[in-house]
């Protein structure tokens, strides 16, 4: 739970460099692309295979990349710097704006190989694909029950904790 405190962007920016651990060195040979050091492989290696971590000073979330922490901090500040030129909706991340603009354009470039259903972003396709594979990657630490989607696990955990969602109209409880 996020404390009921306001944080300025400057305060949060100063926290971006707060936690780092050992940086894994990727050999230059591995990161070279057509004779150029770096490229997408270098970015991928640094983000996905690095022991370096960044910690949010507000909620203690651990992130693998500095730019991920910068994006995450916007949740706490409420900053949404990316604005849709069509409807004015605002977003924390540029990728969310890109997906949103695809909806306006009617573009769905990511298609399911099993059923042909199309999506505006890869994450939505990956989420959908689990309905076909039935891969249960989310596990309850209390009773070991497994679930296909994270939201199903979250609902299940509420049964253990006794938490419920209350209807704002009729006060009915749901878990």
DSSP the chain: ---S----HHHHHHHTTS---PPPPPPHHHH-BTTBS-HHHHHHHHHHS----EE-TTT--EESSHHHHHHHHHHHH----EE-TTT--EESSHHHHHHHHHHHHT---EE-TTT--EESSHHHHHHHHHHHH----EE-TTT--EESSHHHHHHHHHHHHT--EE-TTT--EE-
Which CATH number fits the domain that encloses residue 89? 3.30.160.60
Residue 155 domain-assigned (yes or no): yes
- Does residue 26 share a domain with residue 73? yes
- Does residue 153 share a domain with residue 114? no
Residue 154 domain-assigned (yes or no): yes
- Does residue 63 share a domain with residue 16? yes
- Does residue 30 share a domain with residue 61? yes
For residue 31, the enclosing domain spans 9-77
Q: Total structural domains in the chain?
A: 3
The pLDDT of residue 149 is 83
pTM assigned to the model: 0.54
The pLDDT of residue 45 is 55
- Does residue 96 share a domain with residue 70? no
- pLDDT of 97 > 90? The answer is yes
- pLDDT tens for each residue of 8-55: 444 444 444 443 333 333 334 333 343 444 455 555 555 555 567 888
Residue 94 domain-assigned (yes or no): yes
């Amino acid at each position: 739970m996020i404390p009921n405190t306001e944080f300025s962007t400057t305060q949060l920016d100063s926290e971006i460099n707060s936690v780092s651990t050992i940086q894994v060195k990727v050999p230059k040979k591995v990161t070279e692309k057509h004779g150029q050091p770096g490229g997408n492989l270098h970015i991928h290696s640094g983000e996905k295979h690095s022991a370096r971590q960044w910690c949010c000073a507000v909620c203690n979330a651990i992130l693998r990349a500095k730019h991920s922490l910068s994006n995450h901090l916007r949740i706490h500040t409420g900053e949404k710097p990316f604005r849709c030129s069509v409807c004015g909706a605002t977003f924390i991340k540029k990728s969310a704006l890109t997906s949103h603009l695809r909806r306006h354009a009617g573009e769905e470039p990511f298609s399911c190989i099993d059923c042909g259903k199309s999506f505006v972003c890869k994450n939505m396709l990956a989420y959908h694909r689990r309905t076909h594979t039935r891969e249960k990657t989310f596990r309850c630490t209390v009773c070991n029950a497994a679930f296909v989607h994270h939201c199903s696990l979250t609902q299940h955990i509420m049964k253990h904790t006794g938490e419920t969602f209350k209807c704002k109209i009729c006060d009915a409880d749901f878990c």
